[in-house]
Amino acid sequence: MPRPKKQVLKKRADGRYACRYKNQWFYHTDPDECLRLREEYKEQEKRGRIMFYFVREYAEKWFDRAYPNISPSTKRGLKTHLKTLINAIGCLSVSEVKPSDIKAIYSESYKGKSNSYIKAAKQLYCALFDSAVADGLILSNPAREKTAKPHTGTYTGHRAITPQEREWIHTLCTDHRAWPAVMTMLYAGIRPQEAKALNIDKDVDFKAETITVRETAHIDPENGQKYVFTGKGKTERANRQIPLLPPLNDALKGKHGYLVTSAHGERITHTTWRVMWNSYVAHMETAINGVDRRWYGRTKEHKKILADGGTLPPWVSFTVVPYDLRYSYATMLRDMKPPIEIHTAISWMGHADSKMILKIYDQVTNARDTSEAERLKAVFNK
C-alpha cells in the first residue's frame, strides 16, 4: 500500500507556514512542526477533549479573564508585555513553549530596559503559564525555570538634584503654577500623589510651621484619567506631620486653595498633571538656555554665530522628575551635620519601615565623603 503523500506547505510572507483542519489554523516557522501540530490536534479530538491552544489564542482569553477590573493605564502597560510575548511565540502551542523561548524574549525584546519594566513582564508571563498549568495544558511553568530567568535591567532609580538644579528651581520660573508643588516636594519630601491632594488653607499651618498630609490621590478605577482623593495613603504612616522649612514657607506664603490645579483652577487630573509638568520643564529649559527649544539654532544671534564659524553653546536639558525632589529631601536629611535621626526621617517621609530610606542613608555622596574625611583629619591633627 503506497504511503500517503506528504502535504507541501508554502512559506508565508511573515516567514511562517500554515495548515488547516476544519476551522482551526496551525502556524509554525517549520513546515514539519506545523503539520505535527495539526496531527496532535486531531488525536486530541479523537480522545474527546481538546487540550491544544496556541499561545496567542490562550493568552488573549486569559488576559481578559485575569484582569477584569484594572485601570486603563495599567491595562495598556500589561497589554504591551502581552503583545511582545505574542509577537515572539504566539504561533507556538502552549505545550511547546520552553524556558529558552521565554529567555529569548527577554534577550531580544527587553535589552536596555529597566529592572522594573522587566520585572513587570516576568510577573505577567509567570501568571499566564501558571494558569496554563492549572488548566492542565502543561505540567510545569516554563517562565519560572532558572534557565528562563531574565537579565538584570538598567537602573533607572531616582537621584538627588545637583546644587545647580536647586539654584535653578529657586530662581527660575517661580511664577509657573507647578512651582509651589515643586518646592513642596523638594522641602517637605511628600510624594507626587500627596502633592496633588494637598490643600494649602487646610493642610499648611504657617503659625505652627507644619504641613499635615491628610489625603492621597489615587487613579479612579472607572476613569483612568481622573483621581479620587482619600485618606488612605501608600503606607500606614502616609498621613503625617512635617516641619515647614523656611524656603517652603516663603514659597507658599500668600497662596490659597489646592497646591496644584489645572490651568483652569480645577482639581488636577492625570492628564493635566502631565501637561503641567511638561510645561514646567519646557519653561525651565527656555530660562536656562535663553531660548525656546524650537528656536535653538534658528534665532538671528545663533545664525550669526554659525555664519561666523562659531559653535553654539550645548543645549542644557532640565531632567529633574517629581520623585527626584522627594529623593533630594531624604538626601538633605542624611547630609545634615549631624544627620537627622533615621526614625525621625522615616516619620517625616511616611515610610513603613527603614528599608527604603536606608538605601539613601547608606549611600555616600562625594561631598559627604570629603566632609567626613576632613573631619577625621581634624581629629588627628589635634
Residue with cell 514659597: 251
CATH number of 105's domain:
1.10.150.130
Name the burial class of residue 19, with classes exposed (0-12), middle (13-18) and buried (19+) by CB atoms within 10 angstroms of its CB: middle
**pLDDT digits over 82-92, tens only?**
999 999 998 88
pTM: 0.66
Distance CA 302, CA 299 (A): 5
Distance CA 123, CA 135 (A): 18
pLDDT for the residue numbered 17: 82
The reply to whether 6 falls in a domain is: no
Is-contact 128 62, C-beta < 8 A?
A: yes
Is-contact 9 32, C-beta < 8 A?
A: no
The reply to whether 218 falls in a domain is: yes
Asked whether residue 230 falls in the same domain as residue 325, the answer is yes
Asked whether residue 140 falls in the same domain as residue 236, the answer is no
Is-contact 155 198, C-beta < 8 A?
A: no
Residue 60's domain comprises: 55-148
CATH number of 297's domain:
1.10.443.10
pLDDT for the residue numbered 353: 76
Amino acid identity of residue 373, one-letter, is: A
- CA 258, distance to chain mean position in Å, is 26
**pLDDT digits over 310-330, tens only?**
999 899 999 999 999 999 999
The reply to whether 68 falls in a domain is: yes
Residue with cell 531616582: 158
Question: Where among 88, 117, 148 does a domain terminate?
Answer: 148
Name residue 227's beta-bridge partners: 219
pLDDT for the residue numbered 93: 84
pLDDT digit string (tens) for the chain, length 382 residues: 556 667 788 887 777 788 877 766 777 778 888 888 788 777 767 766 555 678 988 899 899 888 877 767 778 889 999 999 999 998 888 888 999 999 999 999 998 888 888 999 999 999 999 988 887 778 889 999 999 999 988 766 788 899 999 999 999 999 999 999 999 999 999 999 999 999 999 999 999 999 999 999 988 877 767 888 998 888 888 899 999 999 999 999 999 999 999 888 889 998 899 999 999 999 999 999 999 999 998 899 999 999 999 999 899 999 999 999 999 999 898 888 888 888 898 899 888 777 777 766 666 455 556 666 676 667 677 6
Question: Where among 91, 125, 148 does a domain terminate?
Answer: 148
Asked whether residue 141 falls in the same domain as residue 204, the answer is no
Asked whether residue 176 falls in the same domain as residue 301, the answer is yes
Q: How many domains does the chain divide into?
A: 2
Question: Where among 89, 116, 148 does a domain terminate?
Answer: 148
Distance CA 311, CA 305 (A): 7
pLDDT for the residue numbered 221: 73
